[in-house]
């Protein structure tokens, strides 16, 4: 299973299951051109957590802990994990943030890999 967090604005995106994992639609991207398989905004960090984080790299460790706690409590997480695990294509976790190292898709990738590695 290949899971790739990637900016939705990137030009050279590989083929795969295209999942937008932001709660807010990215600016300047048309829904047609995004060619998404799904917009999974319910799996994104809560509005409160997103605003608190503000893409501050110094808050990333705590953001990671808080977001993982939200994922553990989110009733939509099991269905999302099932969707990812059922894919026979690479899974692209698309996001709009400029910082490619400190964002929710990076946390979500690690979370999914952990959960999928423990499945039979």
Out of 1-10, 52-61, 74-83, 111-120, pick the least confident.
111-120
Average pLDDT over residues 39-50: 96
Average pLDDT over residues 17-44: 94
Q: What own/partner pairs with CB < 8 Å and gap ≥ 24 does 37-44 have? A: 38/83, 40/76, 40/80, 42/74, 42/76, 43/71, 43/74, 43/76, 43/77, 43/80, 43/108, 44/104
Where are the domains positioned within the chain? 3-117
Q: Please tell me the distance from the alpha carbon of residue 9 to that of residue 81, in angstroms, as a whole number.
A: 24
Q: Please tell me the distance from the alpha carbon of residue 3 to that of residue 116, in angstroms, as a whole number.
A: 11
95/13: higher pLDDT: 95
Q: What is the per-residue pLDDT for 120? A: 63
pTM of the model: 0.94
Average pLDDT over residues 40-51: 96
């Amino acid at each position: 299973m290949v899971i790739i967090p990637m900016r939705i604005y990137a030009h050279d995106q590989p083929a795969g299951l295209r999942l937008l994992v932001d709660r807010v639609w990215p600016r300047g991207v048309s829904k047609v051109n995004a060619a998404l398989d799904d917009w999974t905004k319910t799996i994104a960090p809560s509005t409160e957590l997103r605003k608190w984080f503000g893409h501050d790299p110094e808050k990333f460790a705590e953001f990671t802990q808080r977001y993982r706690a939200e994922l553990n409590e989110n009733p939509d997480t099991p269905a999302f994990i099932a969707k990812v695990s059922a894919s026979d294509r690479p899974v692209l976790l698309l996001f709009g943030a400029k910082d490619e190292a400190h964002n929710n898709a990076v946390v979500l990738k690690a979370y999914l890999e952990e959960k999928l590695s423990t499945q039979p």
